[in-house]
Homo-oligomer: A and B are copies of this chain.
Amino acid sequence: MSPDITFVAALMADQARSRMLLALLSGKALTATELALEADITAQTASSHLSKLVEGQLLVVRKQGRHKYFQLQSLEVAQLLESLLNLSSVLAHPKARTGPADPLLRKSRVCYDHLAGEVGVGLYHSLLEQQLLTEHSDQVMLTKQGVDFFTAIGVNLTELEKQKRPLCKACLDWSERRTHLAGALGQWVLQDILNQGWAVRDNDSRVLHFHLKGMASFCKRYRFRTSNQALTGSD
């Protein structure tokens, strides 16, 4: 028979656990107490939940001294969470307030290992407009110019292509309902932003705080015209 999907679904069907999982969607490894705080439960309860999530192989755990760091087990888990987010945000079921989320979160946030939110969506469509990227419905590929462009700014595409994961992937944004860039290249872009010091990650959320000058450099590099609203959260 079919595998038992209720097992995985049940693991995600709890407020506390789903909050933890969503917090881990930032890609950062978090400790048990941090996750307990995030889910607003006591350490005991969190411990029980976390052991279930590890047991169920949704999380991996790394022990470091007296701390235990938890992370999502795989990209697949992150993708499942994203698709759940998507479907959930689309559905207008009574309990979920469909209202606008934290504006900073909408602006720019980390989606596991790549850039999401308005900035992520904006970048994606800017790349499309410049014909560096082609989008055939769901399939996204670099154009010839795109290959040249990213090679020029220092991406080793042949190296990235060695990875199992796709180079480009269209990831549907739950706040924007439009696609943004995921995949190995999406990861590279986020890493680059951080390496350049254009933005810093919020410690307590998935928010990505762009510095003013960083946003400018970012726009320049990707020839990306952003609306004039303040996109920076700090500085």
Contacts and interface: CB of A to CB of B under 8 A. Distances in A.
Identical chains in the assembly: 2
B22 A2 contact: yes
Nearest to A163: B137
Contacts of A95: 4, 7
A96 B4 contact: yes
A13 B3 contact: no
B8 A84 contact: yes
Interface string A73-96: 000110111011111111111011
A101 B18 CA distance: 30
Contacts of A235: none
Interface of A: 1-10, 12-15, 18, 22, 55-57, 76-77, 79-81, 83-93, 95-98, 101-102, 136-141, 161, 164-169, 174, 183
B141 A88 contact: no
A90 B73 CA distance: 12
A57 B88 CA distance: 10
11 contacts: A1-B97, A4-B18, A5-B84, A6-B15, A12-B13, A76-B86, A80-B83, A80-B87, A136-B139, A139-B168, A141-B141
Contacts of A90: 76
Contact of A88 (B4, B86, B93, B164): B4
A137 B167 contact: yes
A161 B95 CA distance: 37
Nearest to A101: B1
A98 B2 CA distance: 9
A162 to B, nearest CB: 11
B102 A1 contact: yes
Contacts of A4: 18, 88, 93, 95-96
Contacts of A7: 88, 91, 93, 95-96
List 4 tightest A-B contacts by C-beta distance, closest first: A137-B166, A139-B139, A138-B166, A10-B13
